[in-house]
Structure 1
């Protein structure tokens, strides 16, 4: 008889089978034999055991798992770990990851945790935290390989063997002179293929790309993308090499910026915490400001309608198309603002491209408005044949009013939605704050003015 093969247990099932045994050696052996990403998934799945999972791993592997967890989970783990273990974990973390975690904590907590760091790590952390928030200085790590420009390749290889294990990356080797000034960088491939007796200065070309320590993180993101690099050096105003920024940190920045922009486009302030983790009152605070601003904006719409009260009372039929007109303008404005904000975020357009954008949006607005205007005109003409009492004998004039008003409102919507982000960027503000709801509210008010101005042209002496 053939025996049935047992289905191998999943990592989760294996974890469940041993976590209740309270055998620390068994748990430690199991966790240390798993992939870092698999352990991170266990932490997410069994959040009640998060601190036990991290606490039972070797310090090096625990740090590797810790740095890829969500900030809210990291906070819980640090709070639950014994002081000695949390100190070991923080000391083991790469300087840039430790700084990223600490800057999310209240200043009182940061002060206490910094006291647990070893003197050298404390010095590095305080230096990184001293740079402006959102700057490249907050992202950089001092764990890199630097060599002198007068060294031989043999000396470089020996240096790599000695210090490479503690470096963030050995893919790129950084060259400095006797003053510590950055000279150039070399790919490890160039070092390996060069003759051992060659001098470093003989194989470098002195053409390099470097970040300033005070550069904005978004700018660094664009530089990485344009130059296809895995790491870039960071220098000060005197070109002294201070550290490096690696691609994993830049990807984190890109994700954070993308999330912030999406939230702002939706008409709310950016959330610093995951949605389910943020306190309800804090979530209320993030949303109420924009809600009030947009509500006040919509009150202007009511004011505009009150201004045209006489026209509406004389030609009630005009009121039937108000929702159609203002929603079309709002939709076109939201489309345009979203496209422009996204294009600016990824570096496809800059402030200097405003005239090209304006020309394209004028043509787009006319084309979009013409299509909608034609549909609106046709709709009125067709309905008038079946329901003549609705539009009366002057339905043709009403149809032209609706058609041309749609062209004007949609054109204005596309121009407002495309230009507002550029104007805000020029003023030094975040383009994402010209969110779709904000643009829609703006176009609602101006759309009514356009609509009734067109109505006055076509219906003057007839209904008005």
Structure 2
């Protein structure tokens, strides 16, 4: 209910801002947005036409514009950058944090990148080039280089003066980092300690020396898990020699978790990952993201057709067997999907590791037996009382059901773990692919039982 009220008020406010733009009430508009949160402004601008969004951006106060810009949709950022004068573009880029400016470059086409770099200050350009050298999806690629650094021989008063000097240009001042002459990370000092400690206390005496950090080459998802484990809001990033090069803040981690979750969901739904919102993607782009997996799954599904064709005699002799093929295949696919999704989640949260594979298999086998027997028992009663099926055929169907659930859950557990072990994303082993594999196994087991028990020549 609260979300609906919030969305409604945001929509109403957006309509009011557009009306102010159309009526050229620019002073009133500027005064209204000055009291708004930058995330709300960005959400409203994303819903505007490009021309209105650009007008709105130009009306924003300089500092607010810099805060709003990284929150805009990529297409809106591209349009605004290309529409701004060199002076306006330079002002925006130089006011962005280095990590936001780097993210902007990675999303933009070459002509936009050229304009951004040509209008950035030498310091900003150096920071951007520094961050671009790190591998994609690494801690180094998402960190920012703006942080408060201190020395051990500083007093608390010196530290506070240092924060006042560079704090506005830093990503956060809540945690300060103590470095030696070679910029090796020695410790951290929280801002609250600086506020309560005597002004003449030495930083080296009050700093926390037990510092948890991540390497520049650490995968961004692993870095996010460090945040989750220790409840951090910021974490230092160091190189191989423990020299501090930047920090990652909690807002970056939220973006990472959303990005990784979206990517996993898309892979599990047999869609190539994309970083664009649904309504921002064109028809052809959406087609290109979906068709590869559909083609692969269509081709792989022909194996099930081949299996059915090879048992034509069995189907011709007992046509009733055909009616229960969809039920067996669907149940197997659903059972496999349940296991694979649970295992993929456990792997992503590091609750499960490859060394646990035998424990996982043993657990899934027991769960599969309970599920299979329950489903088979209920189905057997239904086949006899409602469908009026011959008891022997009902036993074949229910026996197949038990085997299918057992196979499906075991395969659904094993494949993601093996895939993760060899370095691939386990999400690709989710519903679509496992369902195809289980379908083939379901049919093979079904017809093998039928032909042997009913003595049908293949």
The TM-score normalised by the length of structure 1 is: 0.91
- 8 Å contact 2:81–2:112 — kept in the other structure? no
| C-alpha separation in 1, matches of 2:444 and 2:120 | 64
The residue number in structure 2 matching 1:160 is: 163
Taking the TM superposition and a 5 Å limit, the aligned residue runs for 1:15-414 are: 15-22=17-24, 24-48=26-50, 49-383=52-386, 387=388, 391=389, 395-414=390-409
Quote how far apart the aligned CAs of 1:424 are: 0.7
Secondary structure in 2 matching 1:214: coil
Asked if 1:455 is matched to 2:450, the reply is yes
**Stretch moving more, 360-369 or 193-202:** 193-202
Q: Deviations over 1:42-86 (max 9, x none)?
A: 313433411111111122100111122222322232233333322
Q: Deviations over 1:269-326 (max 9, x none)?
A: 1123222222322221211110011001110001111222222223222222111111
- 8 Å contact 1:144–1:169 — kept in the other structure? yes
- 8 Å contact 1:39–1:65 — kept in the other structure? yes
- 8 Å contact 1:72–1:273 — kept in the other structure? no
Asked if 1:436 is matched to 2:407, the reply is no
Quote how far apart the aligned CAs of 1:120 are: 0.5
- 8 Å contact 1:380–1:398 — kept in the other structure? no
Quote how far apart the aligned CAs of 1:428 are: 0.4
Secondary structure in 1 matching 2:278: coil
The residue number in structure 2 matching 1:6 is: none
Quote how far apart the aligned CAs of 1:458 are: 3.0
Q: Deviations over 1:347-375 (max 9, x none)?
A: 32222222222122111111111111112
| C-alpha separation in 2, matches of 1:326 and 1:15 | 54
Q: Deviations over 1:372-421 (max 9, x none)?
A: 1112211222146xx5xxx4xxx121111111110000111111112111
| C-alpha separation in 2, matches of 1:306 and 1:11 | 63
| C-alpha separation in 1, matches of 2:427 and 2:279 | 23
Unaligned runs of 5+ in 1: 1-8
- 8 Å contact 1:31–1:53 — kept in the other structure? no
| C-alpha separation in 2, matches of 1:270 and 1:97 | 22
- 8 Å contact 2:189–2:208 — kept in the other structure? no
Secondary structure in 1 matching 2:378: helix
Secondary structure in 2 matching 1:445: helix
Secondary structure in 1 matching 2:146: coil
Q: Deviations over 1:15-61 (max 9, x none)?
A: 24431343544543443343323322331343341111111112210
Quote how far apart the aligned CAs of 1:219 are: 0.6
Quote how far apart the aligned CAs of 1:13 are: 5.3
| C-alpha separation in 1, matches of 2:37 and 2:422 | 48
Quote how far apart the aligned CAs of 1:106 are: 2.3
